[in-house]
Amino acid sequence: MSMTPTAHQMMLDQARWRWSESLFWLLSLGVLFAFPSKALLFSQIAIMGLFALSLDLILGYGGIVSLGHAAFFGVGAYAAGLMAKHGLGDPLLGLAGAACVAACIGWLTSFLLLRGSDLTRLMVTLGIALMLFELANRMASITGGADGLQGMMVGPVLGLFSFDLFGKTAYLYALSVLFVLFLLARKIVHSTFGLSLRAVKGNALRAGAIGISASSRLVAIYTLSAAFAGIAGALSAQTTQLVSLDVLDFHRSADVMLVLVIGGVGWLYGGIIGAILFTLMQDWLAGITPQYWEFWIGLVLVCLVLVGHDRIGAAVKSMVARLSGKGGAA
Amino acid sequence: MLTILFDGIAYGMLLFVLACGLSVTMGLMNFINLSHGVFSMAGGYITAFLINRWGVPFLLCLPLAFLFSAALGMVLERTLYRRLYARSHLDQVLFTIGIVFMAVAAVDYVIGSQQQTVKLPDMLKGRVDILGGSIGLYRVFIIALCGCLAVTIQMLLVKTRFGSQLRAAVDDPRVARGMGINVNTVFAITFAVGSGLAGLGGALGTDILGMDPTFPIKFMIYFLIVVTVGGTSGITGAFFASLILGIADVGGKYYVPQIGAFIIYALMVVVLIIRPQGLFSRSRGK
């Protein structure tokens, strides 16, 4: 009898639901009752967390560095916003619509990503985001252009809970959506598909040699990630009742990368933890220097790389593991 | 018609000078540097500052802009960028975006967000008639200067000892080191010259491209397109890519203003579908 666990066992072990995870989600629900006045901030965190989660799917699991992930966030936001403006105010319908539109664009553009190197991918993702920004800017009659989309009428969630001024419904709604999609993403990355994706990321040539087609995997995960980002955008549009050109801005793509990297790449909680740290930092810094906020983002990025974000990500992970009594098993 | 063609060529030449340093560091050395525009911005701002504050003649400002940006590039390469050559592409992207954000905010804070203007000398104002089209003298000046630069750079890369050392260092740094080439110095000089050219391009382009703190972000996509479309064959590819991009952009914005801004993205997609490795590429193992 050997003591080394088989690969099968190891994978099952990785996929197992830990009690610390339950604690995490209960806590995230609990903060609403502890700090009800901060509900709007919390819903921002949940939305940012979902957005970063969607980036983690392609960056952490697919190995695609994207400079234009805001494209899907923005498309989702505009889709949900336009639906709400033109009488389709049901929030869940809006989410579904946003997911479909974003997934379509993700699917179409994913084929451009299959060609060429990281450099080409950077150009394509950035180019697509800029193109959509320009498109939204030009079609001012539909999108409201630089003034933003106005006159959204968002109905109550499930026909029961209408959005209140303090953001309580907004947070519960955003958190539930995040939780459901998180479970879905967790299921997917631990499935055979997720494992094959990891093989492709590790070495596409070898993965091909054992019969895993890299292209179809990347197309699938990119489309899925686009849909997730679209839903995040839709959530943002519905909870704030506002869509402006800002949703497609380059800064948003850079911010979400920073968020994910703070929390750790290739680990679904990374995006959510990063979103918490990032939003709290933003809230705090905006109080000090509202205008030159991007300088601090830049500084954090530079320092993060010089220190080594892998190390910080690993530190966060091992801290969580220690808290859950696993003693750095992550 | 001819006027627009000339404007496009001038624009393309300008892009080439701005991006050719990058096509060596990013295209050949495979170091992803999104902060190239920062050096152009430095060149543009120093020119505007020298002319407007101290009344330095424009033509003297150009070499000064080159030197300033080259020095800045050299310092940053030695202190920061050097550490990143061996890191992952994600690290390089994050780091250089961080630099861009810091530079943009810092310039905004110190100088302000307004457009910078430079006063061109009288001899570069006015227009000339060439082949029946009326062309701004400044455009002619840019085309001539950038054309000379392109030839010089190509000669430097192909004919000189330094050029061979650079090509060797890019192809295989380990073997190049073994042959007694000081790879670090070669890379540092290349980076400095590339940054200097970017600064010169920024100085020349202040009048045509506009110069404000968001310059590095606005032109990031142009640089990326020039390098990727140009392919990894050296600067010839980048030269033709810049020309095509310049002519397409200027022509598109003039003839079909409604969709003019989309021409460059369409171009990018088309090239990518036909030639995924860039217009001019040599086959490499990667």
Tens of pLDDT, residue by residue over B85-97, are 888 888 888 899 9
Task: Write out pLDDT tens, residues A200-211.
Answer: 887 777 887 888
Which residues of B lie inside 8 Å of A (Cβ-Cβ)?
A: 26-27, 30, 32, 34, 80, 83-84, 87, 89-91, 93-95, 97-106, 108-109, 217, 220-221, 224-225, 227-228, 258, 261-262, 265, 268-269, 272-273, 276-277, 286
Compute the average pLDDT of residues B199-222.
86
More confident residue, A308 or A223: A223
Query: Does residue A313 register a pLDDT over 70?
Result: no
**pLDDT value of position A100:** 94
Q: Quote the minimal CA–CA distance from B147 to chain A in Å.
A: 27
Q: Quote the minimal CA–CA distance from B228 to chain A in Å.
A: 6
**pLDDT value of position A54:** 93
Question: If pLDDT is split at 50, 70 and 90, which confidence band does A330 have?
Answer: very low
**pLDDT value of position A139:** 82
**pLDDT value of position B233:** 66
Nearest to B228 among A123, A258, A298 (CB): A123
Compute the average pLDDT of residues A127-133.
88
**pLDDT value of position A328:** 36
Question: If pLDDT is split at 50, 70 and 90, which confidence band does A212 have?
Answer: confident
Query: Does residue A2 register a pLDDT over 60?
Result: no
Q: Rounded mean pLDDT of chain A? A: 83
- What are the residue ranges spanned by the domains of chain B? 2-213
Nearest to B94 among A112, A118, A257 (CB): A257
- Reduced to 3 states (helix: H, G, I; strand: E, B; else coil), residue A149 is strand
Task: Write out pLDDT tens, residues B37-46.
Answer: 899 999 888 8
Q: Quote the minimal CA–CA distance from B215 to chain A in Å.
A: 13
Question: If pLDDT is split at 50, 70 and 90, which confidence band does A53 have?
Answer: very high
**pLDDT value of position A20:** 80
**pLDDT value of position A309:** 66
**pLDDT value of position A98:** 92
pTM above 0.90, yes or no: no
**pLDDT value of position A329:** 37
Question: If pLDDT is split at 50, 70 and 90, which confidence band does A69 have?
Answer: very high
More confident residue, A95 or B254: A95
Question: If pLDDT is split at 50, 70 and 90, which confidence band does B10 have?
Answer: confident
Query: Does residue B227 register a pLDDT over 90?
Result: no
Query: Does residue B51 register a pLDDT over 50?
Result: yes
Query: Does residue A215 register a pLDDT over 70?
Result: yes
For residue B105, the chain A residue with the least C-alpha distance is A295
For residue A108, the chain B residue with the least C-alpha distance is B269
Domains of chain A are 17-323 (1.10.3470)
